[in-house]
């Protein structure tokens, strides 16, 4: 790689959740929805596309807007958000984009001759009579489509489990009964007419209701088997199930990714603020990755893509990926230069982190740190950082490796206090950094930071003080 790459892997002004990674040719493309920083609902921006060459995942290129809300005839009046999409290469060699505009009860299809070009509206997924899937009685809820082209057959996966709020469903979708859960539908060669009735996707051996399907269908074929990836009722995790047939049944195998690392740490403790999750698997040059997203700004409407290495075992399963700051990087990060705090993979208040649904009012937000930016949405240098660290708040970064003693300085603004620096969560402090009160950012350096050479270590900064601070970056000194 020409450069180091972090989590989030795109520039810190970009908010693309629901990432579906696909390799087409010699590039890795990530198709996702598009949040707007400061918005009050999901997916407020039009679809844009980013890609990187498969031989250097640090060199991401933005291809600009590939599809807009008003291109769908059913959406031109209201301009409802475009939720999570997926893309496949059709049997004719062209590329097909599947998406569901909010509140339209439809699955849209757009097409392009290249994966990165401007997609044009093709039609809606419908039956042979032209009736739209999602508007007929007992159709699946049209949400989060995923698509697989396998041996000339086209399989569309779609669905949602809105059992928690049927009053909302009736209000938004009227009296047409829709089916809860994931479904699979075979499509014809025209890529939008169904060949089969929607079939319920069966997932067996799920250990408890929390890991059942909720949303975010994704499908991959690996070594002749089909991997159904989805977001569970727990909301913050991506689970997966494996089957021998693309239409199922699938057997539950575990968690791939959790944006609070629940399942890796103690079940009752999360290492960062959790929210919904959506993503999938991709293999690049023999290395498998799982893509997901994290939350920022005390809400679920400014999400950013993250990715981690995962390892395919001989039995075809994956272990859960650990949330890190290095993600797609070829190895651990170098203890050189400055790092922005927006790459923290651990962020908690004194009493821990919570789910973002619980951060519903200003009083709750005042007690918790968050990722934030000073600039407007998609401003090229928005100065993203951690705000509102109060007594006991922890920001953690994983992993680094080094071969000699190092020292540290930090850039903060706010009230006086100190940072306790640790190389393991809950470990003994290896240094203290005194912070003075300031309205502007100032640098503060550890007096005697004793971090001996180590093959792998983390950095945890715990704020101690009576006020609050903003934490902008930290710098290594030799």
Beta bridge partners of 87: 97
Percent residues over pLDDT 90 in the chain: 80
pLDDT at 411 over 90: yes
For the record, the structure tokens of 36 come out as 């707007």
Catalytic residue (one of 14, 18, 35, 247)? 18
The structure tokens 């710098």 sit at 475
Give the model's pLDDT for residue 450.
Answer: 61
Is there a contact between 225 and 253 (Cβ–Cβ < 8 Å)? no
Catalytic residue (one of 35, 215, 237, 332)? 215
SS3 368: coil
Percent residues over pLDDT 70 in the chain: 94
Q: How far from the centroid of its chain's Cα atoms is residue 67's Cα?
A: 20
Each residue's pLDDT tens digit, 276-332: 999 999 999 999 999 999 999 998 899 999 999 999 999 999 999 999 999 999 999
Is 18 annotated in the active site? yes
Structural domains of the chain in order of their starting residue, each with its CATH number: 20-310 (2.115.10.20), 337-477 (2.60.120.260)
Is there a contact between 238 and 276 (Cβ–Cβ < 8 Å)? no
CA distances in angstroms from 70 to 63, 74, 384, listed in the order given: 19, 8, 31
Task: Please give the Cα distance from 177 to 8 (Å, whole number).
Answer: 39
Q: Which residues contact 19 (CB under 8 A, 6 or more apart)?
A: 30, 31, 32, 278, 279, 280, 291, 292, 293, 305, 307
pLDDT at 372 over 90: yes
In this structure, how many other beta carbons lie within 10 angstroms of the beta carbon of residue 79?
A: 15
In this structure, how many other beta carbons lie within 10 angstroms of the beta carbon of residue 297?
A: 22
Nearest to 219, CA basis, from 166, 162, 285, 147? 147
The structure tokens 């059992």 sit at 163
What is the number of residues in the chain? 478
Is there a contact between 248 and 202 (Cβ–Cβ < 8 Å)? yes
In this structure, how many other beta carbons lie within 10 angstroms of the beta carbon of residue 228?
A: 27
- pLDDT band of residue 225 (cuts 50, 70, 90) is very high
Each residue's pLDDT tens digit, 179-200: 889 999 999 999 999 999 999 9
Span 396-408, average pLDDT: 86
Give the model's pLDDT for residue 174.
Answer: 58
pLDDT at 453 over 90: no
pLDDT at 231 over 60: yes
Task: Please give the Cα distance from 13 to 8 (Å, whole number).
Answer: 10
User: DSSP characters for 443-473?
Assistant: EEE-SS--B--EEEEEEEEEEESSSEEEEEE
Could you tell me what percentage of the chain is helix, strand and coil, using 3-state DSSP and rounding each to the nearest 5? Answer: 5, 45, 50
Give the model's pLDDT for residue 402.
Answer: 78
């Amino acid at each position: 790689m020409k450069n180091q790459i972090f989590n989030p892997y795109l520039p810190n002004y970009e908010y693309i959740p629901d990432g579906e990674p696909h390799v087409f040719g010699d590039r890795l493309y990530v198709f996702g929805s598009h949040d707007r920083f400061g918005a009050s609902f999901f997916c407020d921006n039009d679809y844009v596309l980013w890609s990187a060459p498969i031989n250097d995942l640090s060199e991401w290129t933005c291809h600009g807007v590939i599809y807009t809300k008003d291109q769908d005839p059913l959406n031109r009046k209201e301009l409802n958000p475009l939720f999570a999409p997926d893309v496949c290469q059709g049997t004719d060699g062209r590329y097909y984009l599947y998406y569901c505009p909010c509140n339209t009860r439809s699955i849209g299809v757009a097409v392009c001759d290249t994966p990165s070009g401007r997609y044009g509206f093709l039609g809606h997924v419908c039956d042979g009579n032209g009736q739209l899937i999602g508007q007929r009685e007992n159709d699946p809820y049209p949400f989060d489509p995923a698509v697989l082209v396998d041996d000339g057959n086209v399989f569309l996966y779609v669905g949602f489990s809105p059992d928690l709020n049927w009053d909302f469903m009736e209000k938004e979708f009227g009296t047409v009964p829709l089916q809860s859960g994931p479904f699979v539908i075979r499509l014809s060669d025209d890529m939008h007419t169904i060949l089969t009735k929607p079939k319920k996707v069966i997932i067996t051996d799920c250990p408890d209701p929390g890991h059942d399907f909720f949303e975010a269908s994704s499908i991959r074929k690996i070594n002749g088997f089909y991997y159904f990836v989805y977001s569970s009722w727990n909301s913050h995790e991506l689970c997966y199930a494996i089957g021998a047939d693309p239409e199922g049944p699938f057997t539950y195998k575990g968690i791939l990714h959790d944006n609070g690392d629940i399942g890796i740490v103690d079940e009752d403790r999360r290492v960062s603020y959790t929210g919904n999750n959506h993503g999938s698997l991709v293999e690049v040059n023999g290395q498998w990755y799982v893509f997901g997203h994290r939350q920022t700004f005390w809400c679920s409407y400014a999400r950013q893509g993250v990715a981690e290495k995962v390892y395919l075992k001989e039995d075809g399963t994956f272990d859960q990926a650990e949330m890190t700051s290095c993600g797609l990087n070829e190895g651990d990060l170098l203890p050189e230069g400055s790092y922005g705090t927006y790459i923290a993979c651990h962020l908690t208040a004194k009493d821990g982190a919570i789910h973002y649904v619980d951060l519903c009012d200003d009083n709750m937000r005042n007690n918790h740190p968050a990722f934030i930016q000073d600039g407007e949405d998609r401003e090229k240098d928005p100065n993203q950082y951690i705000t509102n660290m109060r007594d006991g708040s922890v920001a953690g970064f994983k992993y680094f490796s080094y071969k000699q003693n190092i020292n540290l300085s930090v850039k903060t603004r706010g009230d006086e206090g100190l940072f306790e620096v640790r190389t393991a969560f809950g470990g003994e402090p290896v240094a203290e950094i005194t912070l003075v009160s300031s309205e502007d950012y100032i640098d503060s350096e550890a007096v005697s930071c004793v971090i001996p050479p180590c093959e792998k270590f983390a950095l945890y900064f715990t704020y101690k003080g009576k006020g609050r601070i903003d934490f902008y970056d930290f710098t290594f000194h030799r």
